Amino acid sequence: MELNGAQIVIQSLKDEGVEYIFGYPGGAVLHLYDAIFQQDDVKHILVRHEQGATHAADGYARATGKPGVVLVTSGPGATNAVTGIATAYMDSIPMVIISGQVPSPVIGSDAFQEVDMVGITRPCVKHNFLVKDVTKLAETIKKAFYVATTGRPGPVVVDIPKDITDPRIKIPYKYPKKVSIRSYNPAVFGDKGQIKKAVDLLLTAQKPIIYSGGGVVLGEASKELIEFAHTLGFPVTNTLMGLGAYPATDKQFVGMLGMHGTYEANMAMHESDVIIAIGARFDDRVTGKLDEFCPYAQIIHIDIDPASISKTVKVAIPIVGQVKQVLDQMLEIIRESKKKPSKKALESWWNQIDQWRAVKCLEYDRESRLIKPQYVIEQLYEVTKGDAYVTSDVGQHQMWAAQYYPFDKPRRWINSGGLGTMGFGLPAAIGVKLAFPDSEVACVTGDASIQMCIQELSTALQYKTPVKIINLNNSYMGMVRQWQEFSYESRYSHSYMDTIPEFVKLAEAYGHVGMRIDKPEEVRPALEEAFAMKDRTVFLDILTDRTENVYPMIESGKGHHDMTLRVAPGTSTDRELA
Amino acid sequence: MKHIISILIENESGALSRVAGLFSARGYNIESLTVAPTEDPSLSRMTLVTWGSDDIIEQITKQLNKLIDVVKLIDLEDFVHIERELMMVKIKTTEHTREEIRSLAAIFRGKIIDVTPTTYVVEMTGPSSKLDAFIAAIDGDTIIEVVRSGPTGISRGEKGLHL
């Protein structure tokens, strides 16, 4: 088969099994768009801003486990994509980004819409390629998918100069079935000796805890984690990125840990004597003050990325490998050993944990005359029967969604954890809805975040992706305001916008349904009405308590045991902002 | 502590900037960096001198290994090794200092490789500390220019860094 460069790109994507490309055309990719026009196998989703393309592809990837694919033009198209690429990089999301580049002969001459994409993205990609020869095109694309999806996944950029996709130059096409890269051999199985040592330590633990992260989701190891936890009877805490990998409604689950984690999760971490970290990376929002992190614990760390091990927290037993395989290996050794953890020790450990649980750190003022954001999330959980895909933006609403929507399945909770990218939620929801048109998809957002990629409402209409936008509108950048309240004596410097748009009209202008809710009793009926509109995107503008803060909280510079809890349950939290 | 890290890396455009970028992005120290193709033209060998605590050096080697273009690397501190650096020094001379510089260069096993009526260029190889010592031994006011390659190194014995 003889194809030109543009056709090779599209045919390679097809051979790779790509369903959707999220993109935006421009000069350097016109040949590619012409090739897209002449086929129907790979569907192109036209976004309204390249950042939206990257987040939509990212949401698709997080929900499906398949790589997301992005196509952008050179220069501003490429730079607009960078935020989304960095977002995917920080959360290890497999993505392939194809960017157009000015023709090879003019590279380096400051040509129109030229930017050094390979240079700009170097620190925020797993790898990137500049294609210099059309005969290397198919192989390079194969390599990009291989690198993006194996080992610790991540985004890979393929920068293609316009002359490489010249329709006049045809060459024989063959998509390689396999590629290998001599310098890239990600680990699979863990070292047996290390695993044996880890099992011995686990079986003698008195106050153990399983701390699992996004790696369990990415590594499709949820089933193994559940079996592992049930076999040992240990408490489990998840990171923000790991939510859903262990069922939140399981009795061994003690909630999320870290800055806005539960009291019981953080206290259990602090007091534990053995921690097994599984696909988690000891992020600073998890550890709090490093010097005070888990002072009594010996730590076992399973991770596919050796560089994640002992990066910030020194561990006793590192195990490099795929979490799924390593957990299987561990389970086998546990079964063979016929030993069990001390029943007595575990019983007293669980008693202690139950005392921490009794603090009820997630209680909030249920009698308030204002709409409490926590209440909205709880209602969302009930209306969607806990089975929705929930995307979020970044800030208070993100934490509330993580705290009050108990996820029981992996890949249901879609948020920008590492980079913390406002504007992520809506385009990500579109990507998820394309992947799962029959599932409910909710985007939990806030009045500040939603405005960062609001233009994608137009994309949602064009491709009929009826998502439900739950806008927790407090007229503030709530998390910024909260920090200013705690750390800057309530000097709310620029965390407020006094010209917030009328979201109902805005939604209607984009062809969707808008609803404004300002009383607690309206929340449930409005959610039910919105989710009953199966074929419409509904924007629920919910006016919530403007003063509400996210609790509990480990303030910066403090340890896990030093959490700020909210006021005692039962007392009113209605107040005016200072 | 100072470490010499030897890296085999794909001889491709951009490979050097990936290494240099890693060091600046993560705030690692870099004292010197030399790079040249090897007998296998698809590979370059890079020698990088850095310093830091054991934890930092461990992170540096892990992060370098994580770069897709890095094929293999060793920390020469883990081996008995030989370190060499090339230096050329251009020195102002007068009639009565020429003899002294010649003998000093000879003591350090340097060679005079360029002579003008008023200057010498001395070429010298050795561990960096020896080159430092030579510089310290001559009058600083007479130095016009010093150019150093940065150290390279190789392990002793049969073991080596290769594919």
Q: Any chain A CB within 8 A of the CB of B23? A: no
The alpha carbon torsion through A156, A162, A163, A165 (nearest 10 deg) reads: 70
Q: Any chain A CB within 8 A of the CB of B102? A: no
* pLDDT surpassing 80 at residue A572: no
Q: Residue A556 — very low, low, confident or very high, per pLDDT cuts 50/70/90?
A: confident
Residue A237's DSSP bridge partners are: A211
pLDDT tens by residue, A316-368: 999 999 999 999 999 999 999 989 999 999 999 999 999 999 999 999 999 99
Alpha-carbon gap, residue B8 to B67, rounded angstroms: 12
For the four alpha carbons of A91, A92, A94 and A96, in that order, the dihedral sign comes to positive
- What SS3 string covers A234-247? CCEEECHHHCCCCC
Cis status, amide bond into A552, omega within 30 of 0: yes
Alpha-carbon gap, residue A325 to A221, rounded angstroms: 8
Tokens of A276: 């097994």
The label of the residue with tokens 């220069």 reads A75
| Residue A231 identity (one-letter amino acid) | T
Question: Are A181 and B68 inside 8 Å of each other by CB?
Answer: yes
DSSP string of A314-377? Answer: --SEEEES-HHHHHHHHHHHHHHH-----HHHHHHHHHHHHHHHTT-TT---TT-SSBPHHHHH
ipTM: 0.92
Question: Are B66 and A310 inside 8 Å of each other by CB?
Answer: no
Higher pLDDT, A112 or A568: A112
Question: Are B59 and A311 inside 8 Å of each other by CB?
Answer: yes
Which candidate in A259, A479, A515, A553 is catalytic? A479
| Cβ atoms of residues A20 and A45 within 8 Å | yes
Coil/strand/helix, residue A72:
strand
Question: Are B14 and A130 inside 8 Å of each other by CB?
Answer: yes
Alpha-carbon gap, residue A512 to A506, rounded angstroms: 9
| Cβ atoms of residues A370 and A574 within 8 Å | yes
Other CB atoms within a 10 A radius of the CB of residue A342 amount to 14
DSSP A496: B
Coil/strand/helix, residue A420:
coil
pLDDT of residue A567: 66
pLDDT of residue A263: 96
Which candidate in A19, A66, A113, A197 is catalytic? A113
The label of the residue with tokens 């192989």 reads A139
pLDDT tens by residue, B17-43: 999 999 999 999 999 999 999 999 999
pLDDT of residue A571: 63
* pLDDT surpassing 80 at residue A150: yes
| Cβ atoms of residues A177 and A49 within 8 Å | no
Q: Which of A145, A183, A185, A303 to mutate to probe the B interface, most B CBs <10 Å?
A: A183
Q: Any chain A CB within 8 A of the CB of B136? A: no
Other CB atoms within a 10 A radius of the CB of residue A367 amount to 11
Q: Which of B2, B46, B56, B53 is nearest to B26 (CA)?
A: B56
Alpha-carbon gap, residue A452 to B87, rounded angstroms: 55
Higher pLDDT, A468 or B163: A468
Average pLDDT of B87-91? Answer: 98
Q: Residue A578 — very low, low, confident or very high, per pLDDT cuts 50/70/90?
A: low
* pLDDT surpassing 90 at residue B10: yes
Question: Are B68 and A183 inside 8 Å of each other by CB?
Answer: yes
Residue A479 annotated as catalytic: yes
Q: Residue A217 — very low, low, confident or very high, per pLDDT cuts 50/70/90?
A: very high
For the four alpha carbons of A510, A512, A516 and A520, in that order, the dihedral sign comes to negative
DSSP A568: P
Contact list, B62 vs chain A (CB under 8 Å)? 306-307, 309
Q: Which of A74, A81, A21 is nearest to A49 (CA)?
A: A81
pLDDT tens by residue, A179-203: 999 999 999 999 999 999 999 999 9
What's the whole-number average pLDDT of chain A?
96
pLDDT of residue A576: 74
Q: Which of A104, A102, A107, A37 is nearest to A76 (CA)?
A: A102
Task: Give me the residue from A118, A119, A307 closest to B66, CB to CB.
Answer: A307
pLDDT of residue B88: 98
